Amino acid sequence: MSAPVTEFPDAKIYLVDDDAGVREALGWLLRTRRLVSDGYDSAEAFLAEAAVARREPDAPCCVLLDVRMSGMSGLALFEQLRELPWQAAMPIIFLSGHADVATAVDAVKRGAFDFCEKPFSDNALVDRVEHALRRSAAELAQRATARGLQQRLDSLTERERDVMNLVVAGLPNKLVADQLQISVRTVEVHRSRVFDKMGVKSAVELANLLRGA
């Protein structure tokens, strides 16, 4: 029987564990769900080699991170990754031994996505990975939307911004013209350009777009 088709064909799972056997087993497990992974034998290697540690990912991803490793610990790596502006798009699932459960729970309270205690259930772990990838995909989509909106706002002239702010505040064209000491016709021209650049057809749609930013 062939492996099920994944909903995340471009996703990447980063395995950070100093136990080669664990990395190999996890890699095989993920392949059964057609999920691609990269393995790193230390936190230092991940920071040095994984592109996602230096720039925002362009596809859904997550990190499976061992709590205890030689050299930099998983917890120390987590603290560094928390500082990345795109960390929310890179959910972190801790792999913890029984003695590390309290540490992993504390990390979840501080922003880690989840933890799985060793030995873990294969299906349960991959299910959590897929949940993390959905979170990553949603965050990446939200960030892309925010960037697109900012680009549209940046395309407005200073006068178009002035008009937009008053239109969004609910002022009719006549009052906008009075406030800015320009003609109603000029307001209409700027208003039309704002709508075109922002990709909306009404003041209500524009207000809703900005409210969701």
How many helices and strands in the chain, by DSSP H and E?
Answer: 9, 5
pLDDT of residue 98: 72
pLDDT of residue 101: 80
Strands (E), 17-75: 36-40, 61-66
pLDDT of residue 28: 93
Phi (first) and psi of residue 92, to 5 degrees? -115, 125
- In order of 85, 103, 104, 124, the CA distances from 109 in angstroms are 19, 10, 9, 20
pLDDT of residue 6: 66
Q: Do residues 64 and 17 make contact, with C-beta atoms less than 8 angstroms apart?
A: yes
β-sheet with 12-16: strand ranges across: 36-40, 12-16, 61-66, 92-96, 114-117
As averages over each run of 10 residues, the pLDDT of the chain (213 residues) reads: 66 95 93 93 96 94 94 94 94 86 85 87 89 96 93 96 95 95 96 96 93 70
pLDDT of residue 1: 44
